Amino acid sequence: AAAAAAAAGGAPPTLLDPTLSGAALLTPAGDEQAALAARRAHKAAFRAAVALFNAKPAKGLAALRDLGLVGAEAGDAAAFLARQGTGLDKAAIGELLGERDESLLKVMHAYVDALDFAGATFDGALRSFLDGFRLPGEAQKIDRLMEKFAQRYVACNPSSFRSADVAYVLAYSVVMLNTDAHNPQVKVKMSKADFVRNNRGVDDGADLPEEFLGELYDRIVHDEIKMKDGGMGGAAAGGG
């Protein structure tokens, strides 16, 4: 009997104890196996949800929430998207953040509002912003993301521009310059004079300082903002 074995200092039983009126009492070995199986099931469910997210971001986010891996609040989803090591594809994150659905717009706003651009140069903030995802291909999605970036940058740096509209126009201009400067298919490159001329009057009718625009041009031309690769947020090792 199990009780006799335990009293005699023997090892605990390795099976369910048949003397306990058929009760399914798991032993330490059984507990460990059950825990291992639960962990494996959890990881499998997490990987499946991540794979769904990378194919269909909105449905994948819903699956992650159904599994209890992401909270229901917009901030919960935003924090998860910003995490490293989840295996989320950066292009898929960008597609989700650019959606116009009201609930997903709240996620995008929470995501951007969690970024701290205080004291950052304009291109430094833009680099940080674009590091966590890849810009989607749809113009309206890019527009929503750039508009929110501009609002956040000016909120963090109130003396930087006269309004968020100025930052919005300049952000687009920088992205265009980045593409022009680093796309090998563009044979005739934009000059510094071209860049300065293209941004005349953007400061609510006034011109931004030429020195500021020239330095911005130099930093973009000499150091590309990476916007092409899909990129993964690390290996999807698990949901915890």
- The C-alpha atoms of residue 121 and residue 127 are separated, in whole angstroms, by 10
CB 94 within 8 A of CB 136: yes
Number of neighbours of residue 25 by Cβ within 10 angstroms: 13
138 is catalytic: yes
Q: Which of 32, 73, 138, 210 is catalytic?
A: 138
Tokens of 236: 């999807």
CB 152 within 8 A of CB 112: yes
Tokens of 186: 């563009």
Hey, which residues does 203 pair with through a beta bridge?
A: 206
- The C-alpha atoms of residue 165 and residue 171 are separated, in whole angstroms, by 10
CB 72 within 8 A of CB 37: no
Buried b (16+ CB within 10 A) or exposed e, 123-150: bebbbebbebbbbbeeeebbebbbbbbb
Catalytic residues: 138
